[in-house]
Structure 1
Amino acid sequence: MNRYLFLIILLQTISSLAQNEANIWYFGQNAGLDFNGGVPVPIDDGQLNTNEGCSSISDENGDLLFYSDGITVWDRNHLPMPNGSNLLGSPSATQSGLIVPLPNSTTIYYIFTLDNVANDNGLRYSVIDMSLNNGLGDVTNEKNILLITPIKESITAVNQANGNDVWVVTHGMFNDEFYSFSITDLGIDTNPVVSAIGHTPTNNLEAIGGIKLSPNGSKIAIGYANSAIFELGNFDISTGRVSEIITFDRFATSPVPNNYAYAFEFSPNNKLLYLNNNNLGLFQYSIQNFTETEILNTEVPISLNLSLGPGSGLFYGQLQLGPDGRIYSAISARSSLSVINNPNEVGMLCDFQLDAVRLAPGTQSNQGLPPFITTYFFTTINVENVCVGDSTLISLNTQRDALQVEWDFGDGSTGTGVDVSHSYSQEGNYVITAEVFINSQTFTFSRTISVGTTPTATTPPDIEACDDNGSGLALFDLTSNDSFILNGQDPNAHRITYYENRSDLDNGLSIIEPDLFMNTQAQTTQRIFARVQNTMGDSQCTQTTSFEIKVRQSPETGMIEPITLCPDESIQLTVSSSFDRIEWSNGSRGPSIEVNEPGSYTAVVINDYNTISCNTEVTYEVIEPELVDSFEVLVENWSINNNSIEVVIPDQDDYEFAVNFGPFQDSPIFENLRAGVYEVLVRSKYDCAELSQLVNVSTFPGFFTPNDDGYNDIWNVNNPNPDEDLQIFIFDRYGKFLVEINSNGIGWDGNLNGQPLPASDYWFRTVLTSGREYRGHFTLKR
């Protein structure tokens, strides 16, 4: 009995410590990575050509066994297994497959396959026996065995609490059920543990989106693409049950197409969740305080897709924790994988690098990466404070307790204990090796680290920028201070990140576009923080500094109206002398220039500050009007009081008018004039010319009373021009000619041949010098 118990404990220990099974990855378009050397090395011998789903598995030594796209299984020689075709998975499923070894067996493996968008093939499994086909393995007759349908395109796995058996977890379609299938050394229990909790996917496109268990199996995350919903819950590795699900609709209101919560991964320490949203980018959440509000409050956009929109920008795909403790991100149609170098760190300190790992030539990443039993990544070497001279903390992260561990630090020094510390004296790459002793068995783990020197962050000068529109805001190129901050240090070996304030620095929320940063506090000085990081591998060697950005006011000149230049004259153009410098377009300097020709004259007014000069251009339009030398006057007269004068001249709006030196007006018409000689004055509004002309306004009285009282006894026209003696012919009301008088004469006394005519209306006719004839009538009163 004791011997049997020892065997079980030993097998459980081996299972919980194994991690080399995840050392070879095949994915995308013939792409692959080999982690056996501690760092990923690109390989190009893979036969996969898949847009999304893929799976691969190695043995305990890290040697490739086989891999699949959900339809075909290739052996380690990259040839299809004899019975390895026509599996019923789909390369277009988010996670088209997952490979799980039969516990306590070295030859039997299960490959689970999923159909896409909730199609009928659902979740199936096939058995692979590595003892077949001369040790290259083959799919047995236990092939394409249906477990459940319809199903989401989501699958994940973790070791059970006994450290030996495995839970394989997926989610149903059109219901709220998580399914946990138990795999023991007896095989698959086809009756899953069902947890009915959380969101119900009702649309086939909600089948899209991954699922992931944390390395210690305590948390589970899942996404429902078309609804943009994702969920986070607790998982019990003893029972396989999902509980305390939190449903997040954080992305549901975004207008961005393909706004899918697509892929998930947990940090090795199980404290952080990373999420790839297809079109928005990479996000980080702290999950230690397990409430919706507290989790959302910790959201950090690690890598935002700034081009936002269908068919443009980056399309973020699968996330997968690697054997080296880093998280790798697939981005569609890229020749590299992106990497989260320090996934246990909060905020931007996690150190996301776009296109960090170059793939082999002729290969590329698409949306998928191979999933693994997440417990494979729960035995890792954790390292903190990896700088020259620091006390570097080194520990073994595993599910097992009370381990005896002997360390080789890679520089000739050794140590003993689960948690140790060591100080490196020189920069370089070091292979840390841990030998773990359990019940007379030895297990070896290694990790390559890069030790860097703590950089110097020299305080740079403040940066000034001009406020060109009066808003108090300006664009700053913070990266212009890079060379000052590095002060001779190699820019290729250091990275500088900038932060809006101290809080953002502490939380790792760096400015995304430091070369196009706009200050957030108008017309005030803002302090910017800069962190210099040594970019050698694992290194978190940093130093910070700060400087101020200052918005400087550009000169204000106001609107300049066009200026008139009269012919044969000159004018002076003047700008306020309150500016530091004034430069004219004709080469002159100073506040004034004299010009004698029409045209555009530009003055650049400049205010000088500590490091910049802010300027504003002001343009003077000098125009020379076209002037006339004469004008025409239309006179409407021969009325008693309602006589008028109208001036007719081209470009009337350029002139103003007056009569008899009265006030000038814009209108060329003067009304209600009495008889008389009028001097009509015309002058340009530009004060360039003034013209005059005399005109006569003639009238006649409407009645007369020839009663010798000395008032209105004589009738005659009022002609103000004595040089024009008009002949006037008077008629009675029946048209009978009565008498002829002259405008310069005495007039008519109302008599004909010495006899007074009766009171009545009488008519007159006169011919003007211009030849124009005028007729009118008046009243004789007795």
Structure 2
Amino acid sequence: MAEFLKIISLLNTKLLKLVLKSLLIVIIFYSNFCFTQNDCIEAIIACGNSDINLDVNGFGNQELNGTNVCGFGGGSLGESNSVWLKVTTVTNGTLGFTLTPQSTNITEDYDFFVFGPNATCGNIGQAIRCSSTNPSAANQGNNLTGMNSSSSDTSEGPGSAGDSFVRWLDVQAGETYFIVIDRPIGNSPFSLEWTGSAQFSDPPTDQSTKIGTPLNLESCDVSAPFTDEFTSFNLTDNTTSIIGSQTDVSVTYHESASDANIGIKELNSPYTNIKNPQIIYARITNNTTGCFELTNFDLSVNIGPDFTPPSNFILCDNLDDSDDKNGQIIFDLSTKNNEILNGQNPSDFNISYYANQTNAENKTAPLPNSYYNNIAFNEEIYVRIEDVLNPDCKSITTLNLVTNPTPEAFNHTLLQCDEDGLIDGITTFNLNEAHDDLTGGIADRTTKFYTNPARTSEINGDSYSNTSNPQIIYVEVINNNTNCISYAELTLNVSVTDSNDAILPAACDDDGVEDGFYLFNLNDADGIVTNGLPAGLNIAYYETYDDALLEQNNLGTSFTNTIPYSQTIYARVENTNNCYGISEVVLTVDELPDIITEDLMYYCLNEFPNTIPIDAAIINDSSSNYTYNWSNGENTYQIQINKTGNYIVTVTNANGCSKERTITIEASNIATFEEINIIDASQNNSITVLVSGEGIYEYTLVDNTNMIVNPYQESNVFENVSPGIYSVFVKDIKNDCGTVNDQVSVIGFPKYFTPNNDGIHDTWQVSGVSEMFQPNTKIQIFNRLGKLIKELNPLGDGWNGLFNGEKLPSDDYWFSVKLQDGRIFKNHFTLKY
């Protein structure tokens, strides 16, 4: 505090007053919240070299001012979260310690100061050992501090100076030292381990460990509410066991080891635990030396025996009380015990049942094991499970008593036809057909059938042959949701009445798929089957006789036969659900004529008025077996036509079943030339033929020697055509209506000629010129000097290389051609020998 006042004195008077006023407020604040162990006078006495675990905070009175050489560790307002320890040695030796913060954060800074020997509070003197090194500033690997044998310095710090450890002390027996642990940065709890050879005064010990008396206290939860795991304990019950034979020793109880070490927050007894289980720390103090030792024990609240919550106790109502509809029945509650204990030894527990929770908790008015429920259909009762050895330790749970009502059941009579061929009153019944009558049509019901009243001889309800006429069948009606059962009786009667067989009119197989199957309206047979019978009968149709007899797989009124072309089904006639008779009903499907239903043909318009034949296209049968009706009014198998369009014929067989055939007549024709486009006198001569007509056409090119240049092709364009005279042929391939042709000329100029009389290229002439094409063409030939050598006749043989009867030498010669159509071409060619 003196160091702090020196600093304040350097400030001006006005500022000093303000600071002192603030300081007074701060000191008053911290004085109200500090722990006594922050000061020397209340130093913790260390005894027996036992380790110390502490968690102290707050600011004590500043008692380090001017008393150390390590720098002021606590700041201007006093020590920071400091704790004072007092050590008295009883042997010579060395004294050291290692302080380990609980937090490993390197910023947690612990300083210490050691005073003595035999210093007194208020005259503490100069520290003989101290360390105020900041571990973070000193780049240490941890934040431990203390005194040990390996260090040589006696003081270090502040800030980055040192490594937080100084040389331990050489001490004599009977010496007393004060150690101040100061925490200028951080307030983590810490532990302190003593090192060196010097011994301290021995503290008292926990004598219970010697005499084998357990300290742990266990109690049932006997305080309401009984399930919160909190109850009161008499902690002082352990005091005598802990002290044992020791004298001048006292025991206090604390919630934490730190509180016990410091000696604060003593617990009163009796004490209510704050968690379950909970550790209690006992401080055993020598009243003369102040030395103390800690021990601990557990408080645990027994929350009651383990148990399994019972499932609902469900029974069906019965006639034990002469009323199976009132929702009350006798429950044997003890049958739930094994489920509740779930494998635990029943002799270790008492189980009892109660009408409400208060009775269960107070163990009053238990219910009898044979309990007739008081609340109909659903009642909640309470179960108490208690430990035989400690009845106050109990668990309480609920149990639902559920009484399910029995289902409704009704007696009924079935009447069946005697349709097995022997009129003896014995036939086969489908008992399940009476299901809705026996159950009242309620869903989620099952019926079982028996031949004896005790209902032990079960029979198959799908198919049962009676043994007498009439016969009583005994029925169980079962609720599928609850398995509760009621009883009814089913009487079987056999009738010898009968109904009429029927043959429905045949149906033509004209539903779009000729497969022998057809959708019949079975109601069409009703009048035939019941002809002459009493009114008001009901009819149902079945695919087999057995189905009709047992009334299963009803076909309804619309049925597609499952056997092609002809099938017999069965009609069951009933009078109010009792069989009157079973009749055969024959279903017939007739085939349609087998014909080709669609066809496409062509008529050549260029052959009109000639006709072509078309017919009804009967397949694999004689045409005389059918009649015909054509759309043009004719009625023969084959007709002649010479017009395009659709011709429809209806073909009818002997059964009156008809099918239509449609023949589409499309036009075809020879081609008509519209235009022929020629590109000639070029590197790629081409001919494009443009025609019109109703046909589909192919094209070929033939030269003037009748040699085919291009075979017939779909394209109307010929490319890379050599110069010359050609005939273009166009034929109809749609209906082979004929071929037309026309001539064309392709102009061209040979690049060379060889007048050597070998018959090949002996003359030079313009190709593609004829009396028909370009006959008035003018052709002139020049030598290199431009001299006119020859003027050719376009229709002649051409130039043979002579000039005035003399052969001209091999050379390039020039030509000028003016075609009759006005086109002019000039170029050169080569004469070679």
Q: Determine if the TM-score, normalized by the shorter chain, exceeds 0.5.
A: no
Higher relative contact order (CA 8 A, sep 6+): 1
Aligning the two structures, in what range does the TM-score lie when normalised by the shorter sequence? Answer: 0.3 to 0.5
Q: TM-score, normalised by structure 1?
A: 0.42
Q: Which has the larger radius of gyration?
A: 2
Q: TM-score, normalised by structure 2?
A: 0.40
